[in-house]
Amino acid sequence: MSPFKSLRDYETFIYTLPQRFPHIIRSALIVARRGRHLAELTGDLAFPGGHRLVVYERLTWDTGPLTIEGYSYEVLRGNDKVYWYDSQPHTADSKLASTHPHHKHIPPNIKHHRIPAPELSFGCPNIPFLIQEIKTTLLQD
């Protein structure tokens, strides 16, 4: 269940990420209203070592609390994609059924090598998990 009752709640959450996560060295995330009950989150977060998290979320709140209707999260080192997550359904791939449609693209053959992504959701914010994953797996303390 989403902890955000309004778009303003989500904007506050997004715009205060750098205060809660000290590994973020720059935030260029923008929440833009696209209709009465529709908004998009776009932009990126920069981390040490040239790592970036590029974010796209389509947000709705017409039937209650704010929900993520669709997303794409790309992790880059410089200009190279390290991995990405998206919510594009791949119903023919039975290995992804347990977390449908949430999945992660990983090397080798990053475009076609997909694994389930049980940590992601439409009902809760995904960005804290993604930031922690970057910190744990890519950043050297």
Specify the pLDDT at position 1. 57
Per-residue pLDDT of the chain (141 residues; tens, 9 = 90+): 578 888 999 999 999 999 999 999 999 999 999 999 999 999 999 999 999 999 999 999 877 789 999 999 999 999 999 999 999 987 777 888 899 999 999 999 999 899 999 999 999 999 999 999 999 998 875
Residue 116 pLDDT? 95
Sign of the Cα pseudo-torsion (72, 75, 76, 81, in order): negative
Count of alpha carbons within 13 Å of 71, Cβ hemisphere only?
A: 29
Spatial separation of the C-alpha atoms in residues 45 and 141, rounded to whole Å: 18
